[in-house]
Amino acid sequence: MSHRFRWVWPVSIRRQLVVGVALVHLVLMTVFVLTLVHRQKTFLLDRAERRVLFQAELLATTSVHPLLSSDLAGLGEILAVLVRDAGDVPDAMVTDPRGRVVAHRQLGEAGDRLDDATIRATVAGAPRARLVARGQHTIHAAAPVMARGRHVGWAWITGNVSAERAQLDDVTRTGLVYTGVAVLIGTAFAMGLARAILHPLSLLLGGTEQVSQRRWEQPIPVTSTNEVGTVTHERAQFEAVLSGIGEGICVTDTVGRVLMWNRAAEQITRVPAPVMVGAVIPGPLCLVDGDGAVKDFARTVMKRAIDSGEAVSTAATKLMRLDGSVLSIGMTSAPIRDHAGAVQACVSVFRDVTRERDIDRMKTEFVSAVSHELRTPLTSIRAYAETLQDLVGDEATVQEFLKVIEEEAVRLTRLINDVLNLSRIESGRVRFKEESIALAPLVARAIQTAEPKAAMSNVRLATDVVPDLPPFRGDADGIQQVLTNLVDNGVKYNRPGGRVEVRAWLNGGVRVEVRDTGIGMSPDAVRRLGERFFRVDSSETRRAGGTGLGISLVKEILQAHGAVLEVESAEGRGSAFRFVLPVGGGA
Amino acid sequence: MKRILIADDESHIRRILEFNLKRAGYEVLATEDGRAALALALSARPDLVILDVSMPELTGLDVCRRLKADATLEATPVFLLTARGQESDAEAGRVAGADQFFTKPFSPKQLVEQVRQAVGEP
Ligand SMILES: Nc1ncnc2c1ncn2[C@@H]1O[C@H](COP(=O)(O)OP(=O)(O)O)[C@@H](O)[C@H]1O
Ligand SMILES: [Mg+2]
């Protein structure tokens, strides 16, 4: 229905049905009654005409004899019989062939007499019985009086049709009454029908409109067995699924107003749907993320999902219930788009991850405890090996072996440190700072750290950091680790005479590149880079020594900075590692 | 002769530190718990104190704090040894007033070098 008709044509299905059925009844009944009246009219008039014609012929036959014998009294007698009080024939007369009146009888003062013109016209025509005129309430007929083939006069009859007229009026009136009654009954029927169809539909509508508020213990009643019943059934199933899902579901509009809050959401938060629905997140919820209480929708993951137009996950939100218990909440929010692609709402799925977080924390604590326990014996091994080297003098083999013990102790220490770091970052226990940091000093430190090793293996180190590079936003320690690891790799997986260069410039952020002219990697190795403990297995890499955790650590740290490590490498020619750090406003 | 006080509950660590410092010419007092270290520090007046952070009874941090709170020992350098090497430990050490911070495993040679820089030749 076009918008132009909206104001005439009701919008609700109920009104449409009622108005529609009533209209159809009105039109059909009117046509029906009109047809009926018309037929009745034709029938009644036809009958009246034939009656009057018959009476005219009858008069013509009976007046032959009196007319021939000029028996005027007899003629008057015959007319008197015809023109009775009943009023069927208010006027009768007999004329000669030229229309001159021989005998005439009239009831009361019935008007509407035949005029002379009609009479003249009739007598001028052939001697044949026929209707000669019709009035409002009367019909006039004439029949020739024939005596043995000779035309001796005319018999005239005026018939009264007011009875038929009255009958017709009656039929018309009754028809109108019937039309009215039919329209009434039809409308009532339409209303009944509308109700029968719409009641389950309205239950369903009530149901879907208030999916969120409705008490979930009361499912939509599925009563109808017709199509609406089917729809209702599907709807009920859909809702049963929604409410049955073990994950909390929260749908909000773009300003954070809650549109839906399922049963699991109620159970997890202990806040019932009627309280949540309509409230703006966080509403009555007491949410805490890493940096403190969430008091504003703008600080939620949902808002981030709406703004970015992409699904966003978090596991770092805590929820405090009214009874004081604290839960860790894992949540994924995703924007809901309309058909035009505009974000119109946000659906969030969340669950209680307290147990997982606890286990995770225990795991981290365990790793931390283990690494702590490992350090103590390592400390002794290293300290004793080192001290022994001072004691044994020039005994070359003993020196060599003690050196191995010490080196391995150092390597084990690095392994422990890397495992510890990685597990802390993965468990989200390390909170990276967001500060404004100048890159150049970090690069200088990384180069400085690698210097001894580079000198030993005859690898040149170079830096090319543009002078007016703005500071990046992030964590100084984290990025220091990234640079140190990458430069260390560049030196380790290199060849005498090789070169490692750290470059940094501004291009969509602070773009950093650590490039070497070393042994490079196969495409497969590049793909596997970042797997825990992955190391390319070759004599060259084995000689270099390492844990296979460096790149994992680098990737985790960069990810926390919203950056990705790009790797480009050619076997035998060298590798380049690149990433872009965000440039931040404010300190 | 310069006197160094060592407190570590690990006997091997105590032994090797003692050995290295003595070899460098220092006089060494060693103890295995924090409470004893505090008592020794007050009675023996060492020139430098080396404390393991994790010890029973009184942690190295506690001992360090108390030494730094004592007017007569305030100026005595304190070295802390930790097995964790986390930022938070270093921070806690700084707050407690420690002068140096060594993460295990450390190099005894470097430690002796730092001692020499802090208190001078024996
Ligand atoms: N610049 C590089 N050139 C060649 N190979 C590299 C380079 N960086 C890393 N690799 C390869 O990737 C592996 C994993 O690196 P990493 O995670 O840093 O571990 P580690 O350096 O401790 O072995 C290395 O063992 C090496 O085989
Ligand atoms: Mg590495």
Residue B122 contacts residue B1 (beta carbons within 8 Å):
yes
Contacts of B17 in chain A (CB under 8 A): 383
Pick from A186, A92, A106, A108: nearest CA to A145 = A92
pLDDT at position A526 is 94
pLDDT at position A349 is 92
Query: Tell me, which fold does domain A246-352 have in CATH?
Result: Beta-Lactamase (3.30.450)
A548 CA from centroid of ligand 2 (Å): 6
pLDDT at position A236 is 79
**From-to residues of CATH 3.30.565.10 in chain A:** 435-581
Rg (CA), chain B: 13
- Asked which of A308-322, A531-545, B21-35, B77-91 is least confident by mean pLDDT, the reply is B77-91
Give me the count of residues in chain B: 122
Q: Which residues contact A140 (CB under 8 A, 6 or more apart)?
A: A52, A114, A118, A131, A132, A133, A134, A156, A157, A158, A159
Interchain CB distance below 8 Å, B107 and A409: no
Average pLDDT over residues A541-561: 87
Contacts of B16 in chain A (CB under 8 A): 380, 383-384, 387
Q: Is the dihedral of CA A154, A158, A164, A168 positive or negative?
A: positive
Residue A504 contacts residue A469 (beta carbons within 8 Å):
yes
Nearest residue on chain B to A417, alpha-carbon basis: B85
A336 pLDDT above the threshold of 80: yes
Tally of CB atoms within 10 A around A446: 26
pLDDT at position A35 is 87
A30 pLDDT above the threshold of 90: no
Give first-to-last CA distance, chain B, whole Å. Answer: 5
Interchain CB distance below 8 Å, B104 and A378: yes
Show the tokens assigned to A48: 């009246």
Q: Give the separation between CA A483 and CA A166, rounded to whole angstroms.
A: 113
**Ligand 2 ion: residues within 5 Å (CB):** A 489, 546, 550
Q: Give B60 to chain A, closest Cα distance, Å.
A: 16
Burial letters A84-98, b for 16+ CB under 10 A, else e: eeeebbbbbbbbeee
DSSP state of A5: G
**From-to residues of CATH 3.30.450.20 in chain A:** 14-165, 246-352
* pLDDT-derived band at A216, boundaries 50, 70, 90: very low
Closest in B84, B105, B108 to A372, CB measured? B84
DSSP state of B27: E
- For the domain bounded by A435-581, which CATH number is listed? 3.30.565.10
- Asked which of A273-277, A295-299, A318-322, B89-93 is least confident by mean pLDDT, the reply is B89-93
A493 CA from centroid of ligand 1 (Å): 7
Residues in contact with ligand 1 (CB, 6 Å cut-off): A 485, 489-490, 493, 516, 518-521, 529, 534-536, 541, 546-551, 575
Residue A269 contacts residue A369 (beta carbons within 8 Å):
no
Q: Is the dihedral of CA A377, A383, A385, A391 positive or negative?
A: negative
Q: Which residues contact A308 (CB under 8 A, 6 or more apart)?
A: none
Q: Give B40 to chain A, closest Cα distance, Å.
A: 25
pLDDT at position A357 is 82
**From-to residues of CATH 1.10.287.130 in chain A:** 358-427
Residue with tokens 């290295």: B20
Interface of A with B (CB under 8 A): 368, 372, 375-376, 378-384, 386-387, 390, 409-410, 413, 417, 477
- Asked which of A256-260, A462-466, A562-566 is least confident by mean pLDDT, the reply is A256-260
A490 pLDDT above the threshold of 90: yes
Nearest residue on chain A to B54, alpha-carbon basis: A372
Show the tokens assigned to A61: 């036959």
* pLDDT-derived band at A219, boundaries 50, 70, 90: low
Average pLDDT over residues A534-540: 85
Show the tokens assigned to A65: 């004899």
pLDDT at position A381 is 93
Please state the three-class secondary structure of A462-525 as a single string. Answer: EEEECCCCCCEEECHHHHHHHHHHHHHHHHHCCCCCCEEEEEEEECCCEEEEEEECCCCCCHHH
- Give whole-number Cα distances, B73 to A111, B64, B77, B81, B102, in Å: 149, 10, 9, 19, 21
Interchain CB distance below 8 Å, A375 and B20: no
Instruction: Read off the pLDDT of residues B44-86 as tens digits, 9 standing for 90 and up.
Output: 999 999 999 888 888 899 999 999 999 898 899 999 998 765 6
CATH superfamily of A14-165: PAS domain (3.30.450.20)
Instruction: Read off the pLDDT of residues A151-186 as tens digits, 9 standing for 90 and up.
Output: 889 999 888 888 888 888 888 888 788 878 877 887
Higher-confidence residue: B18 or A124? B18
Average pLDDT over residues A399-422: 88
Q: Give the separation between CA A56 and CA B115, rounded to whole angstroms.
A: 156
Show the tokens assigned to A161: 């049709």
Q: What percent of chain A has pLDDT over 90?
A: 25
pLDDT at position B68 is 92
Q: Give the separation between CA A177 and CA A269, rounded to whole angstroms.
A: 66
Helix (H, G, I), strand (E, B) or coil at A67: helix
Give first-to-last CA distance, chain A, whole Å. Answer: 59
Q: What angle do CA A184, A188, A194 make, to 5 degrees?
A: 145
Contacts of the segment A21-25: beta carbons below 8 A, 24+ positions apart: A21/A186, A21/A187, A21/A189, A21/A190, A21/A193, A22/A183, A22/A186, A22/A187, A22/A190, A24/A186, A25/A182, A25/A183, A25/A185, A25/A186, A25/A187
Task: For residue A384, give the H/E element and its range.
Answer: helix A354-391
Q: Give A352 to chain B, closest Cα distance, Å.
A: 29
Show the tokens assigned to A510: 């602070």
pLDDT at position B25 is 95
* pLDDT-derived band at A585, boundaries 50, 70, 90: low
Burial letters A280-292, b for 16+ CB under 10 A, else e: ebbbebbbeeeee
Nearest ligand 1 atom to the CA of A541 is: 27
Show the tokens assigned to A257: 């107003």
- The DSSP-derived string for A311-349 is -EEEEEEEEE-TTS-EEEEEEEEEEEE-TTS-EEEEEEE
Task: For residue A229, give the H/E element and its range.
Answer: helix A227-244
A388 pLDDT above the threshold of 90: yes
Interface of B with A (CB under 8 A): 10, 12-13, 16-17, 19-20, 83-85, 87, 104-109
What chain B holds in terms of domains, given with CATH numbers, is 3-116 (3.40.50.2300)
pLDDT at position B1 is 86
A587 pLDDT above the threshold of 80: no
pLDDT at position A214 is 47
- Give whole-number Cα distances, A492 to A178, A442, A489, A539, in Å: 105, 20, 5, 13
Average pLDDT over residues A229-235: 74
Pick from A394, A513, A519: nearest CA to A462 = A513
pLDDT at position A459 is 96
Residue A154 contacts residue A59 (beta carbons within 8 Å):
no
ipTM of the predicted structure? 0.89
Task: For residue A158, give the H/E element and its range.
Answer: strand A150-160
Q: Is the dihedral of CA A313, A317, A321, A326 positive or negative?
A: positive
Interchain CB distance below 8 Å, A384 and B106: no
Is there a cis peptide before residue B105, judged by omega within 30 degrees of 0? yes
Q: A130-134 and A138-147: which strand pairing?
A: antiparallel
A1 pLDDT above the threshold of 50: no
Tally of CB atoms within 10 A around A53: 19
Query: Tell me, which fold does domain A358-427 have in CATH?
Result: Helix Hairpins (1.10.287)
